[in-house]
Structure 1
Amino acid sequence: MSTRYVHTNIVARDWRGLASFYIRLFDCRPVPPERDLSGDWLDAATALAGAHITGLHLRLPGHGDTGPTLEIFSYDALGDRLEVNANTPGFAHIAFLVDDVAAKAREMLDAGGSAVGELASREVPGVGKLTFRYMRDPEGNMIEIQSWG
């Protein structure tokens, strides 16, 4: 059986605002159609009564027209959010390769993101110099921005 990575889902308070952030800052591209999902099939799949999802898929940069997407969805009824830190078990962050980590961090701050830590650099033996920083998008999801020299 063949396997291919397809998407990562982000549940957002404001899917349009969050999608706009990823489009502007990380060159993600919308993959129509916008989703408006509900029904018994969705209730069964999510184990939620009366589930209603709206949102959009965004093609991630650098992988062509069939590459993986960010699936940014909002539910009418949202659960409580627990803050994820770099050492929280489970999915912690997504990462983007950028030309200039410091400049991208400033863009993220200007667009409503926030910083988790400081800019860091390290020589990785046999690989090269890694420069990176952990940030958060406007809804608190962690993003690693990195550059290799």
Structure 2
Amino acid sequence: MLRYVHTNIIARDTARLTAFYKETLGCKSIGQTRDLRGPWLDRLTGLPHAHITGEHLLLPGYDATHPTLEIFSYDSLRNTLPPEVNLPGLAHIAFEVDDVQDTLAAILAAGGGQVGEVVTAAYPNNMEAMFVYARDPEGNIIELQSWRQVATTQS
């Protein structure tokens, strides 16, 4: 078997970031919280005395168990530069939403930010997409997108 299971975000404040993803982007608690430690975790992470806490949130639009967004924190966090859209590695997570501008406004009101402009792009088969990159309250990049069929003109 092969299936996608989760994406992990390491948070400075798991409670705040978990609430943000629930309230702003419709993720739901599935009752899977974690408080992990022990020799097996030290070996897995390569960190002595590792301790992870957090929660799995069901991503909107899927069944009752997967895929999830895992929002965890370690007792000891390293400082890093904020994510950017053009840095190598994982760049963003994306959500398809009904209204990009309304969702962006909710993200901004919840303490998030905006990276670039809201743009609209034409796609094949008379499809049009609206996109924007935003940031959650801890700076992680979120792509918002909405799609619609564009009416064609008859001659």
Q: TM-score range by the shorter chain?
A: over 0.9
Aligned to 2:75: 76
* RMSD of Structure 2 on Structure 1 (CA): 1.0
- How far 1:127 sits from its partner (Å)? 6.1
Higher Cα radius of gyration: 2
- Corresponding position: 1:137 with 2:136: yes
Aligned to 2:151: none
- Partners in 1 of 2:131 and 2:93 — Cα distance? 13
Equivalent residue of 2:33, what SS? strand
- So what's the TM-score if we normalise by structure 2? 0.92
Aligned to 1:66: 65
Aligned to 2:2: 3
Aligned to 1:35: 34
Equivalent residue of 2:98, what SS? coil
- How far 1:140 sits from its partner (Å)? 0.4
- How far 1:33 sits from its partner (Å)? 3.3
Q: Deviations over 1:78-115 (max 9, x none)?
A: 01222221111110000001111011111100000000
Q: Percent identity?
A: 53
Q: Runs (4+) of structure 1 moved beyond 4 Å?
A: none
- Corresponding position: 1:49 with 2:48: yes
Counting matched residue pairs gives 148
- How far 1:32 sits from its partner (Å)? 1.6
Equivalent residue of 1:106, what SS? helix
Equivalent residue of 1:32, what SS? strand
Aligned to 2:22: 23
Aligned to 2:97: 98
- Partners in 1 of 2:103 and 2:14 — Cα distance? 22
- How far 1:126 sits from its partner (Å)? 2.8
Distance 1:42 1:129, change over 3 A: same
CA contact (8 A) 2:30 2:64 kept: no
- Partners in 2 of 1:57 and 1:145 — Cα distance? 21
Aligned to 1:110: 109
Q: Which runs of 5+ in 2 are unaligned?
A: 149-155
- Partners in 2 of 1:31 and 1:78 — Cα distance? 26
- Corresponding position: 1:124 with 2:109: no
- How far 1:66 sits from its partner (Å)? 2.8
